[in-house]
Copies of this chain bind each other. A is one copy, B any other.
Amino acid sequence: MSSLCSSLIDDPLQSSLLDRVTRKRCRVSSMGSGSTNVTLQEHVISRDERADILGKYPGFRGCTIWFTGLSGAGKTTISFALERALNKMGVPCYGLDGDNVRHGLCKNLGFSKMDRSENIRRVAEVAKLFADMGIVTLASFISPFNEDREGARDIHTKEGLNFIEVYVSTPLEVCESRDPKKLYKKARAGEITGFTGIDSAYEPPEKPELVIDTGKETPAESVRRVLEYLRDISIIPDEAIKIYNQPEIRELFANDNERQSLIEQIPAMPRIDIGLVDLQWLQVLSEGWATPLYGFMRERQYLQSLHFGQLLDLKKKVVFAGEHDDGCRDEWVMDSPVNQSIPIVLPITDLQKTSIMEGAKEVASSIALFYNDSPVAVLSEGEVFPHRKEERVARQFGFTDPRHPTIGLILASGEWCLGGDVLERVRYNDGLDEFRKTPTELRKAIEDKGADAAFVFQLRNPIHNGHALLMQDTRQKLLANHRNPVLLLHPLGGWTKDDDVPLGVRIRQHAAVIDAKVLDPDWTILSIFPSPMLYAGPTEVQWHARARIAAGVQTYIVGRDPAGIQHPDTKDFLYEPTHGAKAHKMIFFDESRKEDFDFISGTRMRTLARTGQLPPDGFLVPAAWQILADYYKSLNST
């Protein structure tokens, strides 16, 4: 079966998930260190060896950034902000300044020129050791004399370490006007002598690596300039800065200018009419629920999802040796794989495929997606690839029977998939749009409630008091470690099978439960999860949990047979209900509480309502039950 044109993985670790996600760790050891007794090595560890276990990015980046300038110039302000930024990026750094040196290492030094020189020398020697360790060392000292600063530089350069002199050039009058510690005042009053700028000279650096005038730029701008300088001399990777500046949620909405020009261009574009389920996926994508996906999956992401259940990268195509690598054009930076157990693709038919092809191979550069005769998105850099529906269904559902509602839909869909980038927010104008909050909006809403934790309840059935009890219980559990856990009551709002309760009814029922304070409005947010239902069991549970992370939720509650369905023949659970819990690390809702509840499945609840019976006492607040009963009466009457 193996043929001449063969492939070669450069380091299977690299290509296997194992390492893609533990690159740095694996440098320590991929499967344990293996040494069962210590082997002596009579030399210190190399900088590279140390760098391997330091910080988020591999590689040695030890250096010293030396801030010099008058008292009050803003050295420490910028240095602290820079320290915070670097730390957030995962770049180990440490600040040396008067505070942690003058009271310790240099406490036996005064402010004579000689003592000042010795002070700077000692600081420089310590900074050198930190830099040698691989730390980005931030030293902020007035260090008024060129000779001393040059000495500090020499101490580093002769050890092959970067020394970056940053002159904070704030003019004396500005510093004196700030005078936080009233030192200038005292100096002017003669209470302090030898004070730099007053009765002691400040020698500006002759060739500083950077000059910062805090009068001309904000500290944030200064920090950004230092970061860019550090990137330019390869102290910090470009990746780090990009991730640092990247929002957490990737929304795919066009900004106003883009939207305007797109609307003008749409008439000239080939058009694909999409169905409701496609529209719902479009919403999922454009609102950032599947961050960092930037559109309907391309084949590369489709295969990663089917074979790894993850997004490993965002490249737009696979690149073969000899080909020009333009597979990396997506600008979003991923620093680790993201769970993506389900594919999000746009199936198209042969006919649709033909309609968007320019010649035999080229796909039109822009394609307009229409729903109900109005444009909902523009898809750019389209890619067409085989859907391979049978293989997809088997891998995604572990089951291939077309009587499964979602499998039926997929097998009936097009033979091809259209991948590409999308834009625009989806609206339904069904009176429920107010409940359709994007991940970004939900993060805001959770923040507005003053939450220090958020938990979500995933459901696609009416709530009863058992659910409510579960949510209250979860909040209690979380209150052990959190001040104010907020509940995201997050009914699934996309396509569901016909006999499920319609979204509108469910939302009114949920609202009634909240009005009745069964769920406290103070800590409950009701919003719609736009995803269509898959009935894919544990595979879908991964998606439901992962998507909620986008909304800033840390705790996920789900039914015992999550996303489950009956087997069309046996009527048993299609997926073993406990598998989700067994495969994942789940803590089960306290089983000892079971006897507190009458076991009523969504199915039984629907039957009760359909047949006009009343539920057991305490099952549901009357107002909320009425909404269900009315709905089913309306069905029967038709």
Contacts and interface: CB of A to CB of B under 8 A. Distances in A.
Copy tally for this chain in the complex stands at 2
Interface string A438-482: 000000000000000000001111000011001000100100000
Interface string A416-442: 000000000000000000000000000
A35 B88 contact: yes
A1 B53 contact: no
A559 to B, nearest CB: 2
Contacts of A597: 4-5
B83 A105 contact: no
B307 A87 contact: no
Contacts of A562: 1-2, 7
A635 interface: no
Interface stretch (A39-47, A279-287, A521-529): A39-47
Contact of A126 (B105, B247, B539): B105
A527 to B, nearest CB: 17
A237 interface: no
Contact of A219 (B40, B92, B391): B40
A233 interface: no
A499 to B, nearest CB: 11
B2 A602 contact: yes
Contacts of A11: 554-555
Contact of A307 (B129, B133, B459, B539): B539
Contact of A8 (B25, B546, B557, B575): B557
A558 B4 CA distance: 10
26 contacts: A1-B564, A3-B601, A5-B589, A8-B474, A8-B477, A9-B585, A18-B336, A21-B22, A21-B337, A22-B22, A33-B88, A33-B248, A35-B244, A40-B84, A41-B81, A42-B77, A53-B91, A104-B129, A126-B129, A307-B539, A307-B542, A320-B587, A321-B591, A322-B592, A391-B575, A394-B400
A413 interface: no
Contacts of A538: 303, 307
A603 to B, nearest CB: 7
Given A100-B129, A307-B579, A318-B582, 19 more contacts: A6-B470, A6-B560, A7-B586, A9-B584, A15-B586, A17-B310, A30-B549, A32-B243, A32-B247, A36-B245, A38-B81, A40-B84, A41-B84, A45-B87, A50-B94, A53-B55, A105-B126, A300-B582, A322-B592
A122 interface: yes
Contacts of A388: 576
A262 interface: no
A39 B249 CA distance: 19
Contacts of A49: 87
A309 B309 contact: yes
Q: How large is the interface on A (under 10, 10 to 19, 20 to 34, 35 or more residues)?
A: 35 or more
B41 A5 contact: no
A565 B1 contact: yes
Nearest to A553: B12
A228 to B, nearest CB: 12
A125 interface: yes
A541 to B, nearest CB: 9
A309 to B, nearest CB: 6
B321 A38 contact: no
A141 B386 CA distance: 69
A412 interface: no
Contacts of A13: 549, 554
Contacts of A174: none
A546 B585 contact: no
Contacts of A310: 17
A546 B16 contact: yes
Contact of A10 (B306, B398, B555): B555
Contacts of A10: 555, 585, 587
Contact of A548 (B12, B42, B83, B398): B12
